[in-house]
A = this chain, B = another copy of it.
Amino acid sequence: MARNTDMHWRLPLVCILWELAMIVLFGVFVRFNPEADAAGWQKEKAQGNVTSDVENDFYFRYPSFQDVHVMIFVGFGFLMTFLQRYGFGAVGFNFLLAAFGVQWALLMQGWFHTFEHGKILIGVESMIGADFCVGSVCIAFGALLGKVSPVQLLIMTLFQVTLFSVNEYILLDLLHVKDAGGSMTIHTFGAYFGLTVTAVLYRPNLEQTKDKQGSVYHSDLFSMIGTLFLWMYWPSFNSAISNHGDAQHRAVINTYCSLAACVLTTVATSSLLQKKGSLNMVHIQNATLAGGVAVGTAAEMMLTPYGSLIVGAICGIVTTVGFVYITPFLASKLHIQDTCGIHNLHGMPGLIGGIVGASTAAAATEGEYGKKGLIQAFDFTGKYSSRTPVIQGGYQAAGIAVSLAMALAGGAIVGGILKLPFFGDPTDENCFEDNVYWEVPGDEESNLYCMNDSNTKTGTDH
Protein backbone atom coordinates (compact mmCIF):
# COMPACT_ATOMS: atom_id res chain seq x y z
CA MET A 1 0.00 0.00 0.00
CA ALA A 2 2.66 2.41 1.06
CA ARG A 3 4.85 1.48 -1.85
CA ASN A 4 4.97 3.83 -4.78
CA THR A 5 4.65 2.11 -8.14
CA ASP A 6 4.60 5.35 -10.10
CA MET A 7 7.11 4.95 -12.93
CA HIS A 8 6.88 8.56 -14.04
CA TRP A 9 10.50 9.52 -13.59
CA ARG A 10 12.26 6.31 -12.72
CA LEU A 11 11.47 4.30 -15.83
CA PRO A 12 12.26 7.08 -18.35
CA LEU A 13 15.44 7.87 -16.46
CA VAL A 14 16.72 4.31 -16.52
CA CYS A 15 15.77 3.80 -20.18
CA ILE A 16 17.42 7.00 -21.31
CA LEU A 17 20.53 6.44 -19.22
CA TRP A 18 20.91 2.87 -20.42
CA GLU A 19 20.43 3.90 -24.05
CA LEU A 20 22.83 6.82 -23.86
CA ALA A 21 25.44 4.51 -22.39
CA MET A 22 24.89 2.12 -25.28
CA ILE A 23 25.31 4.86 -27.87
CA VAL A 24 28.56 6.06 -26.33
CA LEU A 25 29.99 2.57 -25.92
CA PHE A 26 28.95 1.53 -29.42
CA GLY A 27 30.53 4.72 -30.75
CA VAL A 28 33.81 3.91 -29.07
CA PHE A 29 33.91 0.17 -29.59
CA VAL A 30 31.55 -1.39 -32.12
CA ARG A 31 32.36 -1.78 -35.80
CA PHE A 32 31.32 -4.17 -38.59
CA ASN A 33 33.31 -7.35 -39.02
CA PRO A 34 34.88 -7.88 -42.46
CA GLU A 35 31.88 -9.82 -43.75
CA ALA A 36 29.55 -6.89 -43.09
CA ASP A 37 31.99 -4.11 -43.85
CA ALA A 38 32.10 -2.62 -47.34
CA ALA A 39 35.87 -2.22 -47.49
CA GLY A 40 36.44 -5.37 -45.45
CA TRP A 41 34.47 -7.66 -47.76
CA GLN A 42 36.19 -6.17 -50.80
CA LYS A 43 39.51 -7.01 -49.17
CA GLU A 44 38.41 -10.56 -48.33
CA LYS A 45 37.55 -11.05 -51.99
CA ALA A 46 40.69 -9.39 -53.26
CA GLN A 47 42.81 -11.57 -51.02
CA GLY A 48 41.04 -14.67 -52.26
CA ASN A 49 39.77 -15.65 -48.80
CA VAL A 50 36.35 -16.03 -50.37
CA THR A 51 35.42 -16.71 -53.95
CA SER A 52 31.72 -15.90 -53.94
CA ASP A 53 29.25 -13.76 -52.03
CA VAL A 54 27.44 -16.93 -51.06
CA GLU A 55 30.32 -17.79 -48.74
CA ASN A 56 29.47 -14.82 -46.56
CA ASP A 57 28.54 -16.20 -43.14
CA PHE A 58 25.32 -14.24 -43.49
CA TYR A 59 23.85 -16.88 -45.82
CA PHE A 60 24.78 -19.74 -43.51
CA ARG A 61 23.24 -18.22 -40.42
CA TYR A 62 20.71 -15.52 -41.16
CA PRO A 63 17.65 -17.79 -41.55
CA SER A 64 18.51 -19.40 -38.22
CA PHE A 65 19.07 -16.02 -36.63
CA GLN A 66 15.60 -14.92 -37.65
CA ASP A 67 14.08 -18.05 -36.12
CA VAL A 68 15.96 -17.42 -32.88
CA HIS A 69 14.80 -13.81 -32.96
CA VAL A 70 11.18 -14.96 -33.20
CA MET A 71 11.74 -17.30 -30.26
CA ILE A 72 13.03 -14.50 -28.04
CA PHE A 73 10.38 -11.91 -28.80
CA VAL A 74 7.26 -13.83 -29.82
CA GLY A 75 8.17 -17.16 -28.25
CA PHE A 76 9.08 -16.08 -24.74
CA GLY A 77 6.84 -13.01 -24.90
CA PHE A 78 3.66 -14.84 -25.74
CA LEU A 79 4.44 -17.97 -23.73
CA MET A 80 4.09 -15.75 -20.66
CA THR A 81 0.75 -14.23 -21.65
CA PHE A 82 -1.10 -17.12 -20.02
CA LEU A 83 -1.95 -15.02 -16.96
CA GLN A 84 -5.41 -13.57 -17.30
CA ARG A 85 -4.43 -9.98 -16.43
CA TYR A 86 -0.73 -9.75 -17.25
CA GLY A 87 -0.57 -10.08 -21.01
CA PHE A 88 0.71 -6.54 -21.56
CA GLY A 89 3.40 -7.00 -18.97
CA ALA A 90 4.40 -10.39 -20.31
CA VAL A 91 4.85 -9.41 -23.90
CA GLY A 92 5.73 -5.76 -23.29
CA PHE A 93 8.35 -6.11 -20.58
CA ASN A 94 9.89 -9.07 -22.36
CA PHE A 95 10.19 -6.80 -25.41
CA LEU A 96 11.77 -4.04 -23.35
CA LEU A 97 14.33 -6.12 -21.52
CA ALA A 98 15.29 -8.06 -24.63
CA ALA A 99 15.75 -4.90 -26.69
CA PHE A 100 18.06 -3.45 -24.08
CA GLY A 101 19.71 -6.78 -23.42
CA VAL A 102 20.82 -7.41 -26.99
CA GLN A 103 22.65 -4.10 -27.12
CA TRP A 104 24.49 -4.70 -23.89
CA ALA A 105 25.18 -8.30 -24.90
CA LEU A 106 26.75 -7.19 -28.18
CA LEU A 107 29.21 -5.21 -26.09
CA MET A 108 29.86 -7.73 -23.31
CA GLN A 109 30.19 -10.72 -25.63
CA GLY A 110 32.15 -8.59 -28.06
CA TRP A 111 34.76 -7.66 -25.49
CA PHE A 112 35.22 -11.32 -24.66
CA HIS A 113 35.09 -12.83 -28.13
CA THR A 114 35.60 -10.49 -31.06
CA PHE A 115 37.72 -7.68 -29.65
CA GLU A 116 40.49 -6.76 -32.06
CA HIS A 117 42.73 -3.68 -32.05
CA GLY A 118 40.46 -1.93 -29.60
CA LYS A 119 37.28 -2.58 -31.57
CA ILE A 120 34.46 -5.07 -31.26
CA LEU A 121 33.74 -6.49 -34.71
CA ILE A 122 30.15 -7.65 -35.12
CA GLY A 123 28.32 -9.76 -37.66
CA VAL A 124 25.41 -12.15 -37.89
CA GLU A 125 26.91 -14.52 -35.33
CA SER A 126 27.17 -11.64 -32.83
CA MET A 127 23.46 -11.01 -33.20
CA ILE A 128 22.69 -14.66 -32.58
CA GLY A 129 24.93 -14.56 -29.53
CA ALA A 130 23.18 -11.45 -28.23
CA ASP A 131 19.78 -13.04 -28.71
CA PHE A 132 20.99 -16.18 -26.92
CA CYS A 133 22.27 -14.14 -24.00
CA VAL A 134 18.97 -12.31 -23.73
CA GLY A 135 17.20 -15.66 -23.84
CA SER A 136 18.65 -16.38 -20.43
CA VAL A 137 17.19 -13.12 -19.13
CA CYS A 138 13.78 -13.98 -20.59
CA ILE A 139 13.99 -17.28 -18.74
CA ALA A 140 14.77 -15.57 -15.44
CA PHE A 141 11.94 -13.13 -16.09
CA GLY A 142 9.64 -16.15 -16.17
CA ALA A 143 10.23 -16.76 -12.47
CA LEU A 144 9.56 -13.12 -11.62
CA LEU A 145 6.61 -12.55 -13.94
CA GLY A 146 4.02 -10.29 -12.39
CA LYS A 147 6.01 -9.47 -9.28
CA VAL A 148 8.56 -6.88 -10.40
CA SER A 149 8.62 -3.44 -11.96
CA PRO A 150 10.11 -2.66 -15.38
CA VAL A 151 12.89 -0.74 -13.65
CA GLN A 152 13.83 -3.84 -11.70
CA LEU A 153 13.84 -5.81 -14.94
CA LEU A 154 16.17 -3.37 -16.68
CA ILE A 155 18.57 -3.47 -13.75
CA MET A 156 18.43 -7.24 -13.63
CA THR A 157 19.09 -7.38 -17.37
CA LEU A 158 22.18 -5.22 -17.00
CA PHE A 159 23.65 -7.51 -14.37
CA GLN A 160 22.49 -10.79 -15.82
CA VAL A 161 23.88 -10.10 -19.27
CA THR A 162 27.19 -9.20 -17.64
CA LEU A 163 27.29 -12.38 -15.58
CA PHE A 164 26.11 -14.46 -18.52
CA SER A 165 28.98 -13.20 -20.63
CA VAL A 166 31.53 -13.89 -17.91
CA ASN A 167 30.15 -17.38 -17.39
CA GLU A 168 30.06 -18.01 -21.12
CA TYR A 169 33.67 -16.87 -21.40
CA ILE A 170 34.73 -19.24 -18.64
CA LEU A 171 32.94 -22.14 -20.27
CA LEU A 172 33.69 -21.60 -23.94
CA ASP A 173 37.16 -20.08 -23.69
CA LEU A 174 38.73 -21.19 -20.43
CA LEU A 175 37.18 -24.64 -20.11
CA HIS A 176 36.92 -24.98 -23.90
CA VAL A 177 33.49 -26.52 -23.56
CA LYS A 178 30.94 -27.02 -26.38
CA ASP A 179 27.47 -25.63 -25.75
CA ALA A 180 26.01 -24.50 -29.06
CA GLY A 181 22.38 -24.60 -27.92
CA GLY A 182 23.13 -23.35 -24.42
CA SER A 183 21.87 -26.09 -22.10
CA MET A 184 24.40 -24.82 -19.59
CA THR A 185 25.09 -21.20 -20.51
CA ILE A 186 21.52 -20.22 -21.32
CA HIS A 187 19.09 -22.59 -19.60
CA THR A 188 20.87 -23.77 -16.47
CA PHE A 189 22.36 -20.37 -15.81
CA GLY A 190 19.18 -18.45 -16.65
CA ALA A 191 16.89 -20.68 -14.63
CA TYR A 192 18.89 -20.91 -11.43
CA PHE A 193 19.74 -17.22 -11.60
CA GLY A 194 16.06 -16.36 -11.87
CA LEU A 195 15.07 -18.81 -9.15
CA THR A 196 17.60 -17.35 -6.75
CA VAL A 197 16.41 -13.82 -7.49
CA THR A 198 12.80 -14.78 -6.88
CA ALA A 199 13.78 -16.52 -3.65
CA VAL A 200 15.45 -13.35 -2.42
CA LEU A 201 12.37 -11.35 -3.41
CA TYR A 202 10.07 -13.79 -1.60
CA ARG A 203 6.55 -12.43 -1.03
CA PRO A 204 4.79 -14.19 1.85
CA ASN A 205 1.31 -12.88 1.05
CA LEU A 206 1.03 -13.79 -2.57
CA GLU A 207 -1.88 -16.13 -1.88
CA GLN A 208 -4.32 -13.24 -2.03
CA THR A 209 -3.77 -12.88 -5.76
CA LYS A 210 -4.43 -16.53 -6.40
CA ASP A 211 -7.29 -15.70 -8.75
CA LYS A 212 -5.02 -13.65 -10.96
CA GLN A 213 -2.36 -16.35 -11.11
CA GLY A 214 -4.63 -18.43 -13.30
CA SER A 215 -5.38 -18.16 -16.97
CA VAL A 216 -8.52 -17.56 -18.95
CA TYR A 217 -9.52 -19.43 -22.07
CA HIS A 218 -8.11 -17.02 -24.62
CA SER A 219 -4.99 -16.17 -22.61
CA ASP A 220 -4.12 -19.86 -22.83
CA LEU A 221 -4.46 -19.69 -26.60
CA PHE A 222 -2.21 -16.64 -26.78
CA SER A 223 0.30 -18.56 -24.74
CA MET A 224 0.18 -21.44 -27.23
CA ILE A 225 1.39 -19.05 -29.92
CA GLY A 226 4.53 -18.64 -27.85
CA THR A 227 4.84 -22.35 -27.21
CA LEU A 228 4.52 -23.33 -30.84
CA PHE A 229 6.99 -20.79 -32.18
CA LEU A 230 9.48 -21.88 -29.55
CA TRP A 231 8.86 -25.52 -30.38
CA MET A 232 9.03 -25.12 -34.14
CA TYR A 233 12.13 -22.94 -34.22
CA TRP A 234 14.11 -24.75 -31.52
CA PRO A 235 16.03 -26.73 -34.15
CA SER A 236 17.28 -23.38 -35.46
CA PHE A 237 18.22 -22.32 -31.94
CA ASN A 238 20.35 -25.39 -31.30
CA SER A 239 22.04 -25.24 -34.69
CA ALA A 240 22.42 -21.50 -35.21
CA ILE A 241 26.06 -21.20 -34.21
CA SER A 242 27.22 -24.75 -34.94
CA ASN A 243 29.90 -25.34 -37.53
CA HIS A 244 28.85 -25.00 -41.16
CA GLY A 245 27.78 -28.15 -42.96
CA ASP A 246 27.08 -31.40 -41.18
CA ALA A 247 27.04 -29.93 -37.66
CA GLN A 248 24.20 -27.50 -38.34
CA HIS A 249 22.36 -30.19 -40.27
CA ARG A 250 22.74 -32.73 -37.47
CA ALA A 251 21.80 -30.32 -34.69
CA VAL A 252 18.52 -29.65 -36.45
CA ILE A 253 17.67 -33.33 -36.81
CA ASN A 254 18.51 -34.19 -33.22
CA THR A 255 16.46 -31.31 -31.87
CA TYR A 256 13.53 -32.12 -34.11
CA CYS A 257 13.52 -35.69 -32.83
CA SER A 258 13.88 -34.77 -29.19
CA LEU A 259 11.05 -32.26 -29.34
CA ALA A 260 8.71 -34.68 -31.08
CA ALA A 261 9.27 -37.35 -28.45
CA CYS A 262 8.78 -34.84 -25.68
CA VAL A 263 5.25 -33.98 -26.78
CA LEU A 264 4.03 -37.55 -26.38
CA THR A 265 5.44 -38.09 -22.92
CA THR A 266 4.17 -34.69 -21.81
CA VAL A 267 0.65 -35.59 -22.84
CA ALA A 268 0.96 -39.01 -21.22
CA THR A 269 2.21 -37.62 -17.92
CA SER A 270 -0.22 -34.73 -17.84
CA SER A 271 -3.16 -37.03 -18.37
CA LEU A 272 -1.88 -39.52 -15.83
CA LEU A 273 -1.43 -36.95 -13.08
CA GLN A 274 -4.67 -35.01 -13.52
CA LYS A 275 -7.95 -36.19 -12.10
CA LYS A 276 -10.16 -37.78 -14.74
CA GLY A 277 -7.21 -37.80 -17.13
CA SER A 278 -7.85 -34.30 -18.43
CA LEU A 279 -4.92 -32.52 -20.00
CA ASN A 280 -3.54 -29.41 -18.35
CA MET A 281 -2.66 -26.52 -20.67
CA VAL A 282 0.24 -25.45 -18.46
CA HIS A 283 1.95 -28.75 -19.13
CA ILE A 284 1.34 -28.63 -22.86
CA GLN A 285 2.55 -25.04 -23.02
CA ASN A 286 5.80 -25.81 -21.25
CA ALA A 287 6.84 -29.43 -20.98
CA THR A 288 6.62 -29.99 -24.73
CA LEU A 289 9.64 -27.70 -25.00
CA ALA A 290 11.87 -29.51 -22.54
CA GLY A 291 13.26 -31.72 -25.28
CA GLY A 292 14.78 -28.70 -26.95
CA VAL A 293 16.45 -27.53 -23.76
CA ALA A 294 17.83 -30.96 -23.00
CA VAL A 295 19.70 -31.42 -26.26
CA GLY A 296 21.08 -27.89 -26.25
CA THR A 297 24.61 -29.08 -25.71
CA ALA A 298 24.55 -32.42 -27.50
CA ALA A 299 22.41 -31.64 -30.55
CA GLU A 300 25.39 -30.77 -32.74
CA MET A 301 27.24 -33.89 -31.59
CA MET A 302 26.61 -37.42 -32.83
CA LEU A 303 23.77 -37.87 -30.33
CA THR A 304 21.86 -39.81 -33.01
CA PRO A 305 18.12 -39.60 -33.62
CA TYR A 306 17.20 -42.37 -31.20
CA GLY A 307 19.40 -40.86 -28.51
CA SER A 308 17.49 -37.64 -29.03
CA LEU A 309 14.17 -39.44 -28.74
CA ILE A 310 15.23 -40.92 -25.42
CA VAL A 311 16.38 -37.59 -24.02
CA GLY A 312 13.24 -35.84 -25.19
CA ALA A 313 10.95 -38.54 -23.87
CA ILE A 314 12.52 -38.43 -20.43
CA CYS A 315 12.37 -34.66 -20.23
CA GLY A 316 8.69 -34.48 -21.10
CA ILE A 317 8.06 -36.63 -18.05
CA VAL A 318 10.48 -34.80 -15.75
CA THR A 319 9.10 -31.37 -16.58
CA THR A 320 5.46 -32.36 -16.21
CA VAL A 321 6.15 -34.06 -12.89
CA GLY A 322 7.97 -30.89 -11.89
CA PHE A 323 4.88 -28.76 -12.52
CA VAL A 324 2.66 -31.08 -10.52
CA TYR A 325 4.91 -31.81 -7.55
CA ILE A 326 8.08 -29.73 -7.46
CA THR A 327 6.77 -26.21 -8.13
CA PRO A 328 4.31 -26.32 -5.21
CA PHE A 329 7.05 -27.78 -3.03
CA LEU A 330 9.53 -25.05 -3.95
CA ALA A 331 6.93 -22.38 -3.26
CA SER A 332 5.79 -23.66 0.09
CA LYS A 333 9.01 -25.12 1.52
CA LEU A 334 11.83 -23.18 -0.10
CA HIS A 335 9.98 -19.92 -0.67
CA ILE A 336 10.80 -19.99 -4.36
CA GLN A 337 7.79 -18.52 -6.14
CA ASP A 338 8.33 -19.50 -9.73
CA THR A 339 5.50 -17.91 -11.73
CA CYS A 340 6.11 -19.71 -15.04
CA GLY A 341 7.71 -22.84 -13.64
CA ILE A 342 11.10 -22.17 -15.18
CA HIS A 343 12.66 -24.73 -12.86
CA ASN A 344 10.67 -27.38 -14.68
CA LEU A 345 11.28 -26.18 -18.20
CA HIS A 346 14.78 -24.73 -18.02
CA GLY A 347 16.31 -25.74 -14.69
CA MET A 348 16.05 -29.50 -14.64
CA PRO A 349 16.16 -30.01 -18.42
CA GLY A 350 19.13 -27.65 -18.57
CA LEU A 351 21.02 -29.78 -16.08
CA ILE A 352 20.03 -32.91 -17.94
CA GLY A 353 21.21 -31.24 -21.12
CA GLY A 354 24.58 -30.52 -19.60
CA ILE A 355 24.92 -34.12 -18.48
CA VAL A 356 23.81 -35.48 -21.85
CA GLY A 357 26.34 -33.20 -23.51
CA ALA A 358 29.15 -34.31 -21.25
CA SER A 359 28.31 -37.97 -21.81
CA THR A 360 27.98 -37.60 -25.56
CA ALA A 361 31.29 -35.78 -25.75
CA ALA A 362 33.01 -38.38 -23.59
CA ALA A 363 31.65 -41.17 -25.78
CA ALA A 364 32.79 -39.60 -29.07
CA THR A 365 34.98 -41.81 -31.26
CA GLU A 366 36.95 -41.39 -34.45
CA GLY A 367 34.73 -44.04 -35.98
CA GLU A 368 31.69 -41.85 -35.59
CA TYR A 369 33.24 -38.52 -36.49
CA GLY A 370 36.15 -39.42 -38.71
CA LYS A 371 39.64 -38.44 -37.58
CA LYS A 372 39.43 -34.94 -38.98
CA GLY A 373 35.77 -34.62 -38.06
CA LEU A 374 36.45 -35.30 -34.38
CA ILE A 375 39.09 -32.59 -34.24
CA GLN A 376 36.76 -30.19 -35.99
CA ALA A 377 33.67 -31.01 -33.96
CA PHE A 378 35.32 -30.37 -30.61
CA ASP A 379 37.95 -27.96 -31.88
CA PHE A 380 40.81 -30.09 -30.59
CA THR A 381 43.34 -27.72 -32.11
CA GLY A 382 46.11 -25.47 -30.85
CA LYS A 383 46.61 -25.84 -27.14
CA TYR A 384 43.65 -28.23 -26.99
CA SER A 385 45.10 -30.66 -29.52
CA SER A 386 45.91 -33.18 -26.82
CA ARG A 387 42.39 -33.38 -25.46
CA THR A 388 40.59 -36.68 -25.74
CA PRO A 389 36.82 -37.11 -25.75
CA VAL A 390 36.86 -38.42 -22.18
CA ILE A 391 38.77 -35.39 -20.91
CA GLN A 392 36.42 -33.17 -22.90
CA GLY A 393 33.53 -34.88 -21.13
CA GLY A 394 35.09 -33.97 -17.80
CA TYR A 395 35.41 -30.33 -18.78
CA GLN A 396 31.83 -30.36 -20.00
CA ALA A 397 30.72 -31.60 -16.57
CA ALA A 398 32.76 -28.87 -14.93
CA GLY A 399 30.89 -26.39 -17.10
CA ILE A 400 27.60 -27.43 -15.52
CA ALA A 401 28.97 -26.83 -12.04
CA VAL A 402 30.40 -23.44 -12.98
CA SER A 403 27.13 -22.32 -14.56
CA LEU A 404 25.20 -23.39 -11.51
CA ALA A 405 27.58 -21.66 -9.13
CA MET A 406 27.58 -18.44 -11.13
CA ALA A 407 23.79 -18.49 -11.26
CA LEU A 408 23.33 -18.99 -7.53
CA ALA A 409 25.96 -16.46 -6.47
CA GLY A 410 24.95 -13.92 -9.11
CA GLY A 411 21.26 -14.36 -8.41
CA ALA A 412 21.78 -13.78 -4.70
CA ILE A 413 23.65 -10.54 -5.29
CA VAL A 414 21.30 -9.24 -7.95
CA GLY A 415 18.28 -10.25 -5.89
CA GLY A 416 19.70 -8.23 -3.03
CA ILE A 417 20.11 -5.19 -5.26
CA LEU A 418 16.56 -5.52 -6.61
CA LYS A 419 15.26 -5.57 -3.03
CA LEU A 420 16.24 -1.94 -2.57
CA PRO A 421 13.03 -0.03 -1.90
CA PHE A 422 13.07 2.56 -4.67
CA PHE A 423 12.50 0.51 -7.82
CA GLY A 424 8.72 0.68 -7.70
CA ASP A 425 7.79 -2.98 -7.41
CA PRO A 426 4.09 -3.72 -6.92
CA THR A 427 2.44 -4.49 -3.59
CA ASP A 428 1.44 -8.10 -3.02
CA GLU A 429 -2.20 -7.46 -3.85
CA ASN A 430 -1.22 -5.75 -7.09
CA CYS A 431 0.94 -8.53 -8.44
CA PHE A 432 -0.04 -10.15 -11.74
CA GLU A 433 -2.09 -7.10 -12.63
CA ASP A 434 -1.39 -5.05 -15.74
CA ASN A 435 -3.04 -1.86 -14.62
CA VAL A 436 -0.22 -1.06 -12.22
CA TYR A 437 2.20 -0.23 -15.04
CA TRP A 438 -0.07 0.03 -18.08
CA GLU A 439 -2.99 2.02 -19.33
CA VAL A 440 -5.51 -0.81 -19.51
CA PRO A 441 -8.16 -0.16 -22.11
CA GLY A 442 -11.82 -0.50 -22.22
CA ASP A 443 -13.38 0.05 -18.83
CA GLU A 444 -16.02 2.61 -19.60
CA GLU A 445 -16.36 1.88 -23.26
CA SER A 446 -17.00 -1.77 -22.76
CA ASN A 447 -19.64 -1.22 -20.12
CA LEU A 448 -21.33 1.23 -22.34
CA TYR A 449 -21.06 -1.29 -25.07
CA CYS A 450 -22.70 -4.06 -23.11
CA MET A 451 -25.57 -1.92 -22.02
CA ASN A 452 -26.46 0.20 -24.99
CA ASP A 453 -25.45 -1.82 -27.94
CA SER A 454 -26.98 -5.20 -27.33
CA ASN A 455 -27.88 -5.45 -30.96
CA THR A 456 -24.35 -5.93 -32.12
CA LYS A 457 -22.95 -7.79 -29.18
CA THR A 458 -21.25 -11.08 -29.80
CA GLY A 459 -19.80 -13.83 -27.76
CA THR A 460 -16.72 -11.88 -26.93
CA ASP A 461 -15.70 -8.76 -25.16
CA HIS A 462 -18.31 -8.55 -22.43
Contact = CB atoms under 8 A, between A and B. Distances in A.
A234 to B, nearest CB: 10
A125 B63 CA distance: 17
A23 B306 contact: yes
Interface in A415-458: 433, 435, 437-446, 448-449, 456-458
A116 to B, nearest CB: 15
Interface in A286-335: 288, 302, 304-306, 309-310, 313
Nearest to A245: B53
B59 A59 contact: yes
Given A38-B369, A73-B232, A211-B445, A216 B439 contact: no
Contact of A124 (B249, B435, B443): B249
B305 A122 contact: yes
A246 B56 contact: yes
Nearest to A233: B66
A252 B440 contact: no
Total copies of the chain: 3
Given A59-B60, A99-B288, 11 more contacts: A7-B271, A7-B279, A12-B277, A27-B306, A38-B246, A53-B245, A58-B248, A87-B217, A217-B440, A221-B222, A280-B438
A362 to B, nearest CB: 16
A165 to B, nearest CB: 17
Interface in A222-260: 222, 224-225, 228-229, 231-233, 235-236, 244-250, 252-253, 256-257, 259-260
Contacts of A280: 438-439
Nearest to A56: B245
Interface string A329-366: 00000000000000000000000000000000000000
Nearest to A28: B306
Nearest to A96: B267
A204 interface: no
Contacts of A30: 304-306
Interface string A1-39: 000001111111101101100110011001110011111
B304 A100 contact: no
A52 interface: yes
Nearest to A248: B58
Interface string A355-381: 000000000000111101110010000
B23 A438 contact: no
A387 interface: no
A274 B261 CA distance: 46
A446 B216 contact: yes
Contacts of A114: none
Contact of A63 (B63, B304, B305): B63
23 contacts: A7-B271, A9-B272, A9-B277, A15-B264, A19-B265, A19-B313, A23-B309, A31-B305, A32-B253, A32-B305, A38-B302, A38-B368, A39-B369, A54-B60, A56-B249, A62-B63, A66-B233, A88-B279, A99-B262, A124-B252, A216-B442, A279-B438, A445-B459
A276 interface: yes
B439 A281 contact: yes
Given A58-B248, A99-B260, A442-B217, A66 B69 contact: no
A223 to B, nearest CB: 10
A95 B460 contact: no
Contact of A267 (B150, B233, B310): B150
A203 interface: no
A369 to B, nearest CB: 4
